Amino acid sequence: MDFVKLSGAPLLCSIFLFFVSLVLWVFGVYGVVSGGDSYMIEWQFLYLCGVDWTLPVMVDPISVVFSCFVCLISGSVSLFSMSYMEGEVYLRRFMLLIMAFVGSMNLLIFVPSLVTVLLGWDGLGIVSFALVIYYQNKKSLAAGMLTVLVNRIGDALLILCICFMVNWGEWRFGYGLFGSFGMLICYLVVVGAMTKSAQIPFSAWLPAAMAAPTPVSALVHSSTLVTAGVYLVIRFYSSLIETEEILSFLSKMGGLTLLMAGLSACFEVDLKKIIALSTLSQLGLMMFTIGIGYPIIAVFHLFTHALFKALLFLCAGSIIHSTGDTQDGRILGGIGRLLPFSGGCLVLSSVVLCGMPFLSGFYSKDLILEGTFSGFSGWFEVLVLLVGAGLSLVYSLRICLMGVFGQSFSGSLCSFGVESGYVVVSILTLSVGAIVGGWLLQLIWVAVNGFDLVGVFGKVIIGFVTFSGLFYMLVSFLKASKVKRSLVGSLKWFLSSMWFMNLVSGSLMAGMGLKGGMSMHLYLDLGWMEVLGGQGMFKVLGGGMGFSYIMQSGSLLIYVRVFLILLAILMSFVFLFF
């Protein structure tokens, strides 16, 4: 009974989510995806002023596969939480927040109405704030406030979209938008999606959200919160394609985010923040892919990225938990000998992230590079994409060299533990997905195969970009610190600070917003507004009541004075106007 009381909630949640994922895969993938059919189920609540108030549910290949992966990863995270959150007093509350998060994400996935999407969108923001501040310290509170303030910008933009879409009397966003406000609505949707997916200039909240527990990071930063913006843009693509300026803007912002996050990950020392920056880099890659006109390939990369990034977070969480909450890369090392299973799976997930041939990341990453070469992108965008894709191998090798193959500078070996069975099962489940998931999806997702032809030169460049980061491993093994200093030089401070995005977006939202609110409270609510408002009105009424009291005191002298004053005013009025 004690086991059921302490660990029953995460175990039951994981079994339920694995069952839902299996049902979606068997009936959804082979029933919907293989047939290529899409279904719309719609309930009408009321009809008011020419507008249908309905709840539509969209069942198509994208929503079914995405929901299947979300449930699979959430089940693995719940099983992992049984070991990682062991001894947690409020474990049921934690699992309730996780299930609320999964429910909000599925509401966002299946419902194509912008009004109902806002419920799932807001639900993700509120629950993510509760999860980020779960440890209840100043660092978690600062990260949670930054997260929720940036996400509120996206909420406000979606509410503006709903207000403008009243002109059509329709809130389903799978159709083209014609007429007035069309471009404005598309821009509002794209910028709102950029806030949730942490694109430039809203990138500061994603590394800050690493203050949450590692199971939360594995769920939030692999397949749910950060991919909600990408998913919204993909669903809205039939409207975005009508305006080339929006897609061009999206590709440029995605390319800059890819380059910025990749360069910052090459200088970060915190293990979880390196993985968070790699997530930010892959999100920029997805946005870039949508911007150049390949949304199906972006969906494919979204699915494969969810599998291997959740595995990477769980492996890092197992290492952090087993080494006494140590996540500084300058201290970690030698994990391959002390935790062989977690270390080996960490290497596996890093290799998948690099795009090693015939693993899950290879299929989608290779298709993105081929699409860029065969598309009509500018040479600068292609150069940014190649550099950003090459940097993925550099920061993946940094993770392996710091955590697995490097020398340990931590305390005694007594602080190291052994992975529990729940951790092994959860990591093993995602490892199978990271190895064969891309191949299975490629068999099912026939639309992404065979419509791009790239020459020999393009293939050589793609192979060079995929393995160009091996130069970093050579420099690291040779301990050539002079080579590193000469390559980066004085740019290290700029590159390691995310191009000062913390000052641009973090201080803008959390610093200027909160300080501006405090200033307005002091100088408006407690300042001259109070003087002209409440206190001023009280003084005016008090003076008026005092004057009325004097006028009605009953003294004959007061009455004579009032009579003479009124007589003088009346005589002046007569002389002026008559």
Burial 61-84 (b: 16+ CB within 10 A, else e): bbbbbbbbbbbbbbbbbbbbbbbb
| Euclidean distance between CA atoms 121 and 563, whole angstroms | 71
**CA nearest 165: which of 220, 117, 214, 109?**
117
**CA nearest 364: which of 306, 426, 279, 277?**
306
155: pLDDT strictly greater than 60: yes
275: pLDDT strictly greater than 80: yes
Give the model confidence (pLDDT) of 38-60 as tens digits: 777 777 777 766 666 777 788 88
37: DSSP letter? -
Q: CA–CA distance from 242 to each of 154, 237, 250, 574 (Å)?
A: 22, 9, 14, 74
Identify the pLDDT of residue 498: 63
| Euclidean distance between CA atoms 415 and 412, whole angstroms | 6
Pairing of strands 39-48, 51-59: antiparallel
Identify the pLDDT of residue 445: 59
Identify the pLDDT of residue 1: 46
Cis upstream peptide for 10 (omega within 30°): no
**CA nearest 534: which of 525, 543, 547?**
525
Is residue 400 a contact partner of residue 343, using CB atoms and an 8 Å limit? Answer: no
Give the model confidence (pLDDT) of 321-376 as tens digits: 777 767 776 777 677 677 778 778 888 888 888 877 777 777 777 778 777 777 66
| Euclidean distance between CA atoms 176 and 165, whole angstroms | 12
Q: CA–CA distance from 421 to each of 76, 172, 360, 418 (Å)?
A: 12, 45, 25, 10
| Euclidean distance between CA atoms 271 and 319, whole angstroms | 10
Give the model confidence (pLDDT) of 204-217 as tens digits: 788 887 777 778 87
DSSP 3-state of 172: strand
HEC profile of 44-70:
EEEEECCEEEEEEEEECHHHHHHHHHH
296 CA to centre of own chain: 20
| Euclidean distance between CA atoms 142 and 138, whole angstroms | 6
Give the model confidence (pLDDT) of 493-523 as tens digits: 666 666 666 666 666 655 666 677 777 767 6
CB atoms within 10 A of CB 518: 10
The secondary structure element, H or E, covering residue 380 is helix 379-400
Is residue 157 a contact partner of residue 190, using CB atoms and an 8 Å limit? Answer: no
104 CA to centre of own chain: 14
Residue 223 exposed, middle or buried by CB count within 10 Å (0-12, 13-18, 19+): buried
The dihedral of CA 282, 256, 144, 155: what is its sign? negative
**CA nearest 99: which of 117, 126, 121, 75?**
75
471: pLDDT strictly greater than 70: no
260: pLDDT strictly greater than 80: yes
Is residue 214 a contact partner of residue 316, using CB atoms and an 8 Å limit? Answer: yes
Residue scoring higher pLDDT (211 or 488): 211
Determine the Cα angle at 67 with ends 64 and 68, to 5°: 85
Query: Token pair 């996780």 is at which residue?
Result: 98
Q: CA–CA distance from 31 to each of 22, 24, 72, 235 (Å)?
A: 13, 9, 19, 21
Q: Which two tokens stand for residue 177?
A: 């938008």
Give the model confidence (pLDDT) of 65-94 as tens digits: 888 888 888 888 888 888 777 777 778 888
CB atoms within 10 A of CB 421: 10
| Euclidean distance between CA atoms 117 and 107, whole angstroms | 7
436: pLDDT strictly greater than 60: yes
Is residue 262 a contact partner of residue 268, using CB atoms and an 8 Å limit? Answer: no
43: DSSP letter? E
Identify the pLDDT of residue 213: 79
The pLDDT > 90 percentage for the chain reads 0
Instruction: Provide mean pLDDT across the span 217-243.
Output: 81
Q: Which two tokens stand for residue 283?
A: 């999100």
Concatenated DSSP letters of 177-195: --STTHHHHHHHHHHHHHH
Torsion of CA 179, 180, 185, 186, to 10 degrees: 50
Is residue 484 a contact partner of residue 339, using CB atoms and an 8 Å limit? Answer: no
DSSP 3-state of 416: coil
**CA nearest 222: which of 300, 296, 276, 286?**
276
Phi-psi region for residue 181, left (φ > 0), alpha (ψ -120 to 50) or beta?
left
Residue type, 356: M
pTM, 2 dp: 0.79
| Euclidean distance between CA atoms 59 and 41, whole angstroms | 8
Give the model confidence (pLDDT) of 176-195 as tens digits: 555 567 778 888 888 888 88
Question: 326 phi and psi, to 5 degrees?
Answer: -105, 120
Q: Which two tokens stand for residue 96?
A: 């309730």
| Euclidean distance between CA atoms 236 and 112, whole angstroms | 9
Query: Token pair 């080494």 is at which residue?
Result: 323
| Euclidean distance between CA atoms 122 and 101, whole angstroms | 11
